Amino acid sequence: MVRPAKSSSAEIARGKALIPRIDRVDEVRVERRFWPKVQRSLARIPFADHLLSVWYAARDPQTPAGAKGMMLAALAYFVMPVDAIPDVMVGIGFTDDAAVITAVVATLSAHIRSRHREAARQALARLARSED
C-alpha cells in the first residue's frame, strides 16, 4: 500500500516555488540592462522589432504570468553579458539571441498583441532618430 507523503514545514508551499523568484530576478536584470544594450546594438540587431515587441508584452499587466515568465527569461538571455555565442563576434554574435527571441515569438504570439508591435515600431523610430 502506498502512503501519502507527510507534509512538513520545510516543503515549498504551492505557489511559492522557485519560478516566481527566477521571474523576479530576470525582471530586475532585464529592467536594468535592456535599453542600454538595445541602444548600443541597434544597428546589429535585425530582430529588433521582435525583441521590442516581446519587451512590451512582458511589461503588459494583461500578459499572463506564465507567458511573461518565458518572455522575461528570453529577454534576460539577451541582456546577459555571457551567452552561447558572444555578442561581440561580428556576423554571428546575435544568432543565438535571435533564435531565443524567435522561439518565444512563435510560441507566445497569441500574447504579443498589435499594441505591443506598434509600441516596438515607435520605439525603433525614436531610437533611429536619436542616432542621427
In the prediction, which pLDDT does 37 show?
81
Q: What angle do CA 66, 68, 73 make, to 5 degrees?
A: 100
Query: pTM for this structure?
Result: 0.71
Residue by residue, pLDDT tens for the chain (132 residues) are 444 344 333 333 444 444 556 567 678 888 888 888 888 777 678 899 999 999 999 999 999 999 999 999 999 988 887 766 666 565 677 888 899 999 999 999 999 999 999 999 999 998 888 766
How far, in Å, CA of 69 to CA of 63, rounded?
10
As a whole number of angstroms, the distance between CA 47 and CA 31 comes to 19
Q: What are φ and ψ of residue 97, in 5° steps?
A: -65, -40
Residue 70 near residue 108 (C-beta atoms within 8 A): yes
Q: How far apart are CA 119 and CA 132, in angstroms?
A: 20
pLDDT (0 to 100) of residue 12: 35
Q: Report the pLDDT value the prediction gives residue 27, as an integer from 0 to 100.
A: 80
How confident is the model at residue 14, as a pLDDT? Answer: 40
Q: What pLDDT does residue 45 have?
A: 83
